[in-house]
Chain A
Amino acid sequence: MVEVRQLEVTYSGPQGPVRALAGVDFTLPDGESCAIIGPSGCGKTTLLSVLAGLVAPTAGRAMIRGQPVAARRPETALILQDYGLLPWKTVEHNAELGLLIRGVGAAERRRRVEEVLRELGLWEFRRHYPHQLSGGMRQRVAIARALTLGPDLLLMDEPFSSLDALTRESLQETLLDVWRRGGTTLVLVTHSIEEAALVGRTVLVLSERPGRVAHRLENPSAGRVEYRASPHYHRQCVRLRRLLADGAGRQAGPQRSRRAAGGGGAP
């Protein structure tokens, strides 16, 4: 379970302290998927960095499975927009990096890397370097690298935003395939309404900076096969678009977000 309580983050910018997050609250049961959306600069990425243990909360707390977030929680995997692949390592060496760092033996590394690379359709490309691959393939490698670790929490920061529409859809399907197998909680930061509605069984709409949860949209059909083609999905997109236009402009207090959570969507 991911539990975030009254989370505040203030960091020092060039013009003095910047309040990125001001009292973010939410919980997410194990195995759920959650999309976080909001206007640019609302602190989405900061929130994800806190969950990844890369940024320490200024106040409040973030807990994963009852433990305060720590920098090297081995079961958490992070996937960034720019892939974060090492240019000097081949696909297979990039994919095994997390295992190598964790001291997993060579035979076990090979076994798990082969399994994941085959699953993601990367096995034929295992000796390629990242710059020899397309953006979509690179992001696939980044996903593979995360999956070799068998994570129970997968954090993604706008992972598909630089990809073309078809590649993006195919990667979203890959991601949901992985998620549907169970055992993985998914937290995805995105600026795409369509992506948030497709992936997040819970969608958190953050307010303008300093960010807090302005709305919470329950979206229980997300992640199902063929959800993308259903009319319900399109209605959820419309609903989310309204929430975003409504909540992002103003400061929404905790009362408002409770109402949104209870009502399950649009006013």
Chain B
Amino acid sequence: MMRSPGPWGVVGAAAALLVFWHLAAVAAHSPALPPPWPALAAFWQSLGRGMERHVAVSAARVLASLAWAAALAVPAGLVLGRYPALDRWVAPLIYLTYPIPKVAFLFLVIHFLGIYNLAKIFLIGLIVFFQLLVTARDAARSVPRELLLSVRSLGAGETQLFRHVVFPAALPALFTAARIGLGTAIAVLFLTETFATDAGIGYFLVDAYSRFDYAALFAGIMAMSLMGLVLYVLLDGLEGRVCRWRRA
């Protein structure tokens, strides 16, 4: 199980990154790659001037996407994993559609869902959906047979097997999938925030770039990284609560 990084781990990692960044900036000697200090100053200045709103909007989009994807993918995947007969029919469908870059459907999504939040949340969630679906299915498949047998011998029906055995057994794998999905979601988030919005870190980045304000650009990148950190810590915290037995 992954543990949330302690505060000193985060400080250490941030310091290492800043040192690396500084060296790279000195070596590159280009206005496109400013050293850390101007960028940190720009970040500081952006606080209280809209950066919080951008971060909040982006985080809300990511969380909404993860939520709908998980709400559909987890039950569907667990059922597929439990019923190989069903999976034989659905698996080809998954394998045909999983590798398609969903971003290629951007124009379709925009056509049907408009250009605002709904389209963005749909597209991000669609990508995470497949990662969670495949993980949930494989996790449900590998539930130890003895556990199913022993709980069934207590009189459990299918629903109770899902509740007491299959779902909890799949949880650790699902959290791993959610962590991977979170990374993907933030990457896609950037793309969807480059159009039809005036909020979100993606928008902030594009705006800074269009003004050739490289310090602000890097301030936005830092904000994105910090948002990711916070989301990961939240996810780890949730896992710790839900999968308490793995910490004990």
Contact = CB atoms under 8 A, between A and B. Distances in A.
Given A80-B146, A80-B149, A129-B248, A88 B155 contact: no
Contact of B154 (A82, A83, A89, A97): A97
B147 A84 contact: yes
Nearest to A85: B150
B64 interface: no
A84 B155 contact: no
The 7 closest A-B pairs by CB, nearest first: A84-B150, A78-B153, A98-B154, A88-B168, A88-B245, A129-B245, A72-B155
B165 interface: yes
A145 interface: yes
Interface size class of A (residues with CB under 8 A): 20 to 34
Contacts of B53: none
Contact of B155 (A98, A132, A142): A98
A74 B168 contact: no
Nearest to B168: A88
Contacts, number: 60
Contacts of B154: 77, 97-98, 101, 145, 149
B57 interface: no
A84 B245 contact: no
Contacts of B244: 88
22 contacts: A54-B152, A78-B150, A78-B153, A80-B149, A84-B147, A84-B151, A85-B150, A86-B147, A86-B164, A86-B168, A87-B245, A88-B171, A89-B164, A98-B155, A101-B155, A101-B156, A101-B160, A128-B248, A129-B245, A129-B248, A131-B248, A142-B150
Contacts of A74: 155
B241 to A, nearest CB: 12
A222 interface: no
A258 B45 CA distance: 95
Contact of A82 (B146, B155, B245): B146
Interface residues on B, range: 20 to 34
What is the predominant secondary structure among interface residues of chain B facing chain A?
Answer: helix
Contacts of A80: 146, 149-150
Interface in A67-94: 71-72, 74, 76-78, 80, 82-90
Interface in B134-188: 146-147, 149-156, 160, 164-165, 168-169, 171
Interface string B214-248: 00000000000000000000000000000111001
Contacts of B164: 86, 89, 97, 101
Contacts of B245: 87-90, 129, 131
Contacts of B153: 52, 54, 76-78, 84
Contact of A84 (B149, B160, B248): B149
Nearest to A99: B154
A250 interface: no
Given A54-B152, A98-B155, A88 B147 contact: no
A125 to B, nearest CB: 12
A181 interface: no
Contacts of A82: 146
Contacts of B146: 80, 82, 84
Contacts of A65: none
Contacts of B165: 86
B148 to A, nearest CB: 9
Nearest to A82: B146
A121 B213 CA distance: 70
A137 to B, nearest CB: 15
Nearest to A73: B155
Nearest to A49: B149
A111 interface: no
Given A86-B164, A86-B165, A149-B154, 11 more contacts: A72-B155, A82-B146, A84-B153, A85-B150, A86-B151, A88-B168, A88-B244, A101-B156, A101-B160, A129-B248, A145-B154
